[in-house]
Amino acid sequence: LMWFEEYNKLLCQLVSMLNDEEIRAEPVVKKLLLGGGPTFLKVDVDNELLKEHLYWGDRDVEEMYYCIGVTKVLWFEIKNVLSPYGERHIRNINVPHELYELD
């Protein structure tokens, strides 16, 4: 779970950098965008397998899903600041609708 937390801290820093007009974070994020984003968000998780092989309890699995949710929100923010090619743009979005379809 430490890995998720560190990853999310870095994503959070990227979001802050993107919101600061003085800092050029686009080249860093462009690689993520062109790669389709965090690949672990596309993995189907087998909770029982995690519990068995990592000796996790229900609380560990809940924390993992919480961290994944944070990653999805941060990724959503990044995608809406930059175009698919890593260039800054402003996009009108229907936030309530799109938040339920985070990918």
Domain ranges of the chain: 2-99
Among 91, 89, 84, 70, residue whose Cα is nearest residue 33: 84
Residue 11: pLDDT band (50, 70, 90) is confident
Instruction: Report the percentage of the chain scoring pLDDT > 90.
Output: 30
How many angstroms separate the CA atoms of 103 and 76, rounded?
8
Question: Which residues, in sequence order, are CB contacts of 82 under 8 Å at separation 6+?
Answer: 18, 26, 29, 30, 33, 88, 89
75-100, pLDDT tens digit by residue?
888 877 765 555 555 444 344 444 44
Section 23-37 average pLDDT: 75
**Would you say 28 and 14 are in contact if contact means Cβ atoms under 8 Å apart?**
yes
Among 46, 36, 40, 35, residue whose Cα is nearest residue 3: 40
Q: What is the pLDDT of residue 88?
A: 57
Q: What is the pLDDT of residue 103?
A: 44
Q: What is the pLDDT of residue 46?
A: 96
Residue 20: pLDDT band (50, 70, 90) is confident
Q: What is the pLDDT of residue 91?
A: 46
Which whole-number Å values give the CA distances from 31 to 14, 28, 41, 57, 80, in the listed order? 12, 6, 16, 35, 15
Give φ, ψ of 88 to 5 degrees.
Answer: -65, 135
Mean pLDDT is lowest, of 29-33, 49-53, 90-94, for 90-94
